Amino acid sequence: MKSILSIDGGGIRGIIPLKVLEYIEGKTNKPIHELFDVIGGTSTGGIIALGLNSKSSNTEAIYSAKDLLKFYTEDAGEIFQEAKREYIELEEKVEADDKLGNPGFRHSTYSSKGIEKYLKEKFGSDTKMSELQPKPDVSVFSYDIQNDCPYYFNSKKARENPNFDDYCVWQAARATSAAPTFFPTARFPEKSNSIFVDGGVYINNPALALLIQAKHLYPYEQKFLLISLGTGSLKVARDLKDAGILGWMISHPGALLDVMMKGASETTHQQLQELVSGNSNSGLKIPSLNQYERYQKELQENIAMDDIKPKTLTKLVNLGEALVNENKNELNELCEVLVKIK
């Protein structure tokens, strides 16, 4: 049996899946990279996947899930607050008595300076994708708006395929998390003419893509275990039924991207449920997908992807702990299986 780990995008809400991963590492007494054959993520999930598979001069992991959790809870300000732009005055585009101060209307809310500096510090300024752990196979997802196509950064292809660009790890992390309106696009002209944005615009939950990838990597494998980790799902509807540009972009900043990412995540989850259950009307069951588990926490209120207030960070940690406690028996069984098959 081959094991696959998929991690959704969701900005600072990456704390939620990190709590699950921290529990798995503690229960198995093994680093995540030793438990899975394929690991991937989008946006914050991509950063987590890269972090868990970065290595020192030997094959030891530099960062555990606990380490990454500490980065999220203690260092978020280095990415967001340091890079905060001044509010932009909309004088010609919007007719209003008062000036509307909404970052992200004309320009991205944050500059790239803070996040790029931080990623280089944590991943190294010249460490390549090919230098990640030899196993598992690692993928992070982005979208190239210059060439209008999906793009994924992959450790195995970077090592083995001379025609596949071997980007720096920090560049892959930057590209997968370049969320429209939040951060500028990611460009690396020394490598290509590509202009990257957050992969969440089309594949916020990459579980199905990673399953397909695993089946290509292991064509003769008869059984796959797929674990998918969400970053929280909001069930409370926003009042956007008649919203125009101002409603979507100013009254509810970030709502459009949230809806796109949630829609992409839930669609993938529903498709995988069909594939693993073999709905009698669809006939779609994949015999080799032996087990599929999705761990997702329902949110009672919206938590913005860039909300790094201390009380919010504490709330996210608590949500992650609650997700673990609600699924502890199942997670314990999962840990036993992961150790057994490895």
End-to-end CA distance of the chain: give it in Å, rounded.
Answer: 9
Count Cβ atoms within 10 A of the Cβ of residue 216 and give its class: 0-12 exposed, 13-18 middle, 19 or more buried.
Answer: exposed
Give the whole-angstrom CA distance, residue 14 versus residue 47.
Answer: 9
Angle between helices 65-74 and 15-28 (to 10 degrees): 150
Let me know: does 61 contact 31? Beta carbons within 8 Å: yes
In b/e form, how buried is each residue of 323-342, taking b as 16+ CB within 10 angstroms?
bbeebeeebeebbebbeeee
198 is a catalytic site residue: yes
CA-based R_g, the chain, Å: 20
The catalytic residue among 8, 137, 198, 258 is 198
Phi, psi (5° rounding) for residue 44?
Answer: -60, -35
Query: ∠82-85-90 over CA atoms, to 5°?
Result: 170
The DSSP string of 248-313 is: IIIISTTHHHHHHHHHHHHHHHHHHHHHHHT-TTT----TTEEEEEEE--EESS---TT---HHHH
Give the whole-angstrom CA distance, residue 334 versus residue 171.
Answer: 33
Give the whole-angstrom CA distance, residue 212 versus residue 219.
Answer: 10
The catalytic residue among 3, 43, 64, 177 is 43
Catalogue the active-site residues: 43, 198
